[in-house]
């Protein structure tokens, strides 16, 4: 789990992910993004895209062969 903090130190968003050893012949490790969120007031500032890029880079760097993302849309 990682937090995205602004220059003021306040939390603007975060991610929770893990890398699972699935032990397959073609896919050995799967990166699983469980949660990604950005607070309402910061949603137009590109934080969500930055968090998604960050987690994809981390999964790849840590040996993830496959990225599994769950998509949740915001409703009112």
18-42 pLDDT, tens digit per residue, is 888 888 888 888 888 888 889 888 8
More confident residue, 19 or 66: 19
pLDDT at 75 over 50: no
Name residues whose C-beta falls within 8 Å of residue 11's C-beta, 6 or more positions apart in sequence: 3, 4, 5, 39
Adjacent-strand bridge partners of 20: 30
2-69 is classed CATH 3.40.630.30: yes
pLDDT at 17 over 80: yes
Task: Supply the pLDDT for residue 33.
Answer: 83
Name residues whose C-beta falls within 8 Å of residue 55's C-beta, 6 or more positions apart in sequence: 15, 17, 31, 33, 36
Domain extents for the chain? 2-69
pLDDT at 74 over 70: no
60: phi then psi, degrees, rounded to nearest 5: -65, -45
7-12 average pLDDT score: 89
């Amino acid at each position: 789990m990682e937090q995205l903090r602004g220059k003021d130190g306040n939390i603007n968003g975060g991610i929770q992910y893990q890398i699972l050893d699935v032990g397959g012949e073609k896919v050995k490790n799967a990166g699983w993004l469980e949660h990604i969120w950005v607070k309402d007031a910061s949603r137009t500032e590109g934080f969500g895209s930055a968090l998604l890029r960050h987690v994809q880079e981390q999964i790849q760097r840590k040996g993830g062969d496959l990225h599994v993302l769950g998509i949740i849309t915001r409703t009112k």
